[in-house]
Amino acid sequence: MSHFRRRRVRSHPVSAREERRRIAYRMLQKHTPKASIARQLGVSYVTVWRWETRWQREGAASWREHEHPGSERRLSPHDQKALLALLKQGARAYGYPTDLWTLKRVAEVIRKEYGVEYSLSGVWRVLRALGLSAQVPLTRALERDESYIRHWVGHPWPDILRQALDRRVTVVFVDESGVQTSPNVRRSWATEGSRPVLRTKGGREKISVISGVTLEGELYFELHRHDLSGTEVIGFLEPLLEEIPGRVMVVWDNIGIHRCAEVAAFTWLNRRRLELRRIPPYAPELNPDEGIWDVIKNDRLANYCPTSLDELEGTLHAELSDLKAHSERVLSAIQQTELPIHSVDRFLEAAGWD
């Protein structure tokens, strides 16, 4: 009996890239022109030239991919947990002048805190392993009263909603926004190395919009070519009362045009049908109507470059009208809100609404 064991050879699957390179080597050995090889294999002439250089330098077996053994994980599980907690505190808490975590800054933190050197790509892998990703931060006003916002969401708001449903009052969330002729620039796929160019019209004209959404997915809006005032607010509320039967509860923020004398007088004159509720100051995330503007600006009109204010107004009206015609899309948009309206179907069913 032989005392020697046959060594098992691991089979290494051949990738498509390796197979092309192997075919190219055979063709090069037969002195096939590089241009012909490039055409047949669907690669560039420069690629074939590089393959020929590699073949001449490393031999016929170099069609195989070079193995790149990965570096060992150098942060212990305890260090990773500590790093995650540190990063969650923010860059300013660590001593940087801004709350911006970049790969370079995280690499510096890892080196200072744990004595470990990582390349930027290595830091990226560490962050991904920790469940982190690059995201655009939300902005929050310093004037916000976080405790009051939490209290309002947890107590007054459920009571407001319950009372509205019990009395069959239609709740309308109202907000104002503006859309400029200058584009809302978003990332777009394009040929590598060829950055897209948006050709825009000089100046920044805008269309002012006041809109409202209901919990049932109804959308109402009006467009204006000037800044909004109490007059435009009344001009929105008046047809709203004509279109919606019964009592209407408008929920909106605390800006000046909502508190002006004109709106107060209009509300008092229509007190039998109209009542107002205010969202806490500096908390736009609690207004479901904000979701409508996220869809319009960041989806439907992203990278849109109108040539005139007339064109912008027509396009904006068409997009809002199309959204208005599809209540399911409106409902999907308003689900982005941080206001707890996601269980509203249960409230509607309990109140006996169809």
| Sequential DSSP letters for 49-76 | HHHHHHHHHH-GGGGSPPP-PPPPP-S-
For the stretch 261-271, pLDDT in tens is 999 999 999 99
Q: Give 270 or 189, the one with higher predicted confidence.
A: 270
Residues 228 and 280 in one domain: yes
In angstroms, the CA 81 to CA 72 distance is 18
> How many structural domains compose the chain?
3
Percent of the chain with pLDDT over 70: 90
**Gap between the Cα atoms of 33 and 42, Å rounded:** 14
Is 134 domain-assigned?
Answer: no
The Cα-based distances of 254 to 70, 96, 284, 287 in angstroms read 56, 35, 10, 12
Strands 219-224 and 206-214: antiparallel
Give a yes or no: residue 324 inside a domain.
yes
Residue 280, in any domain of the structure: yes
- State whether 257 and 288 are in the same domain: yes
262 falls within a domain: yes
Looking at the DSSP bridge assignments, the partners of residue 176 are 210
> Are 152 and 267 within one domain?
yes
Residues 166 and 294 in one domain: yes
Same domain, 124 and 151: no
Q: What is the mean pLDDT of the chain?
A: 86
Same domain? 27 vs 120: no
Of 314, 323, 291, the C-alpha closest to 181 is: 314
Question: Using one digit for the tens of pLDDT, what is the confidence trace for 115-168?
Answer: 999 988 889 999 999 988 887 777 778 888 999 999 999 999 999 998 898 899
CATH classification of the domain holding 285: 3.30.420.10
Per mean pLDDT, which range of 53-67, 93-107, 204-218, 303-317 is the poorest? 53-67
Which of 103, 129, 155 is the endpoint of a domain? 129
Given a cut of 70, whether residue 3 has pLDDT beyond it is: no
3-state class of 173 per DSSP?
Answer: strand
Question: What is the pLDDT, as a whole number, of residue 239?
Answer: 95
For residues 96 and 169, membership in a common domain is answered with no
Q: State the residue for tokens 């399911």.
A: 328
Full domain range(s) for residue 240: 147-183+203-350
Q: Is the residue at 196 inside a domain? A: no
pLDDT at 16: 79
Quick one: 175 and 264 in the same domain?
yes
Residues 240 and 273 in one domain: yes
237 and 100 within one domain: no
330 vs 196, residue with greater confidence: 330
In a shared domain, residues 45 and 167: no
In a domain, 113, yes or no: yes
- Report yes or no on 221 lying in a domain: yes
* 190 located within any domain: no
Whether residues 253 and 310 fall in one domain? yes
Higher-confidence position of 188 and 33: 33
> Based on the number of CB atoms within 10 Å of its own CB, is 250 exposed (0-12), middle (13-18) or buried (19 or more)?
buried
